[in-house]
Structure 1
Amino acid sequence: MVDYIFTGLARKRAELAGEIERTHNRMRDLAADMEHVDATLRMIAPKMVVETIKLKAFRPPAD
């Protein structure tokens, strides 16, 4: 009886661990992309402080 519970929980944990790893990879890619954009902005407008650019809020769809 306990075997199928263990198997299900182990599978769920593996799924969550995989999702966390994919999210970390995506965050690393996004951070690298932002560094490239920041570097380009600094070349175009050297006096601009890119950290003062406000974040764009995520708004989920209304439906």
Structure 2
Amino acid sequence: MSDRRSMILMYACALGTVGALVLTSSYKKTVEHHQREAEAAAAEQGSVGPSKASTFEQKLANLDKVR
């Protein structure tokens, strides 16, 4: 009886792992798709510029230069 339970448990764990991998892959593809759409929309509007992170880093670098 316990052998059957362990087989069921291993099967359930394997299914859970496969399901998690599929969901992760799907989420990653969705994020990449939305990112490409956002970049295309920004390029279409002509507002392609440095990201907020890079401008923040530039401001920090300028502050270091002042000191």
Deviation for aligned residue 1:44: 1.3
5+ residue gaps, structure 2, are 49-67
Counterpart in the other structure of 1:33: 33
> Take 2:42 and 2:35, find their aligned partners in 1: how far apart are those partners?
10
More helix by share: 2
Letter in 1 for 2:22: R
Question: Structure 1 residue 16 and structure 2 residue 16: aligned?
Answer: yes
In structure 1, C-alpha distance between the alignment counterparts of 2:38 and 2:16, rounded to whole Å = 32
> What is the letter of the counterpart of residue 19 of structure 2?
E
CA distance in 1, matches of 2:8, 2:43: 53
1:4 matches 2:4: yes
Asked which structure has the greater RCO (Cα within 8 Å, sep 6+), the reply is 1
Instruction: Structure 1: give runs of 5+ residues left out of the alignment.
Output: 48-63
Number of equivalenced pairs: 47
Question: What is the Cα-based RMSD across aligned positions, in Å?
Answer: 1.2
Q: Report the structure number with the largest CA radius of gyration.
A: 2
